[in-house]
Amino acid sequence: MKKSFLLALGLLVFASQSNLRAADEAGFKPLFNGKDLTGWEGRKEHWSVQDGAITGATTTEHPAKGNNFLIWRPNGKNGTVSDFELRLSYKIVPNGDHGFGNSGIQYRSKDFGDFVVGGYQADFEAGKTYSGILYEERMDGILAQRGQKTVVKTVDGKTKVEVVGSLGKSEDIQAKIKDRDWNDYVVIAKGNHFQHFINGVQTVDVVDEREGGKGAKEGVLALQLHAGQPMTVQFKNIRIKELSDKK
């Protein structure tokens, strides 16, 4: 009797957890089929699918020659994102004993041609400093260090980053990030408000109040392969949900 009750209770808890997970994923659509690069385009010598994951790799024989990107291109044309929540898993590993590896997720970004992209980037690395920050590739650089709440403004025609709060110590957030293993990244962009999370821990909170159209309202989505020492970065379970005030 007791064993039957415990079994029934366990099944009920499992079903409840499954329903919660399904509800949490409601409205998300996959951007990667887990098999090939359909819907994505990048430099063929650097990007492929290995072990069910999008894989960007550089070697001594095939260096990056500058940062380059795998761009989301559904139907052969650049896809754009505006207000959204993006979820994915990533892993980054240096190819060698140098310890270097840097990558990121570009969003609301600009395509400069030849698979070069600039704009907002959810950064991460094989290191202990930059994972989770908001970096603006090819533009104004770091808009929030890890653990910071910031407001980005235009002052006398120049970009100024004002720190207005804290999400915790950078080293404490780093302690939650797995080295050379899979981590879960979430990016939320709504209006001029941006939030990054790694493994469920918020890493930055940014409000972009810049003038003159500097704060992008929409743009391309892309994955970065950083120039430098040989490295491998992988992405899987990429999915996105559009956000709207109407919903």
Is residue 3 in a domain?
no
In a domain, 10, yes or no: no
Domain hosting residue 237, numbered range: 30-242
Over the stretch 160-181, which tens digit does the pLDDT of each residue have?
Answer: 999 999 999 999 999 999 999 9
User: Is residue 18, in this structure, part of any structural domain at all?
Assistant: no
Answer whether residue 21 is part of any domain.
Answer: no
In a domain, 247, yes or no: no
Query: Would you say residue 121 lies in a domain?
Result: yes
- Global pTM reads 0.90
Total structural domains within the chain: 1
Render the burial of 25-63: b for 16+ CB within 10 Å, e for the rest: eeebeebbeeeebebbbbbeebbebeeebbbbbbeeeee
For residue 92, what is the domain's CATH number? 2.60.120.560
User: Is residue 164 domain-resident?
Assistant: yes
Residue-level pLDDT at 65: 86
- The more confidently predicted of residues 13 and 22 is 22
SS3 167: coil
Residue 16 lies in a domain: no
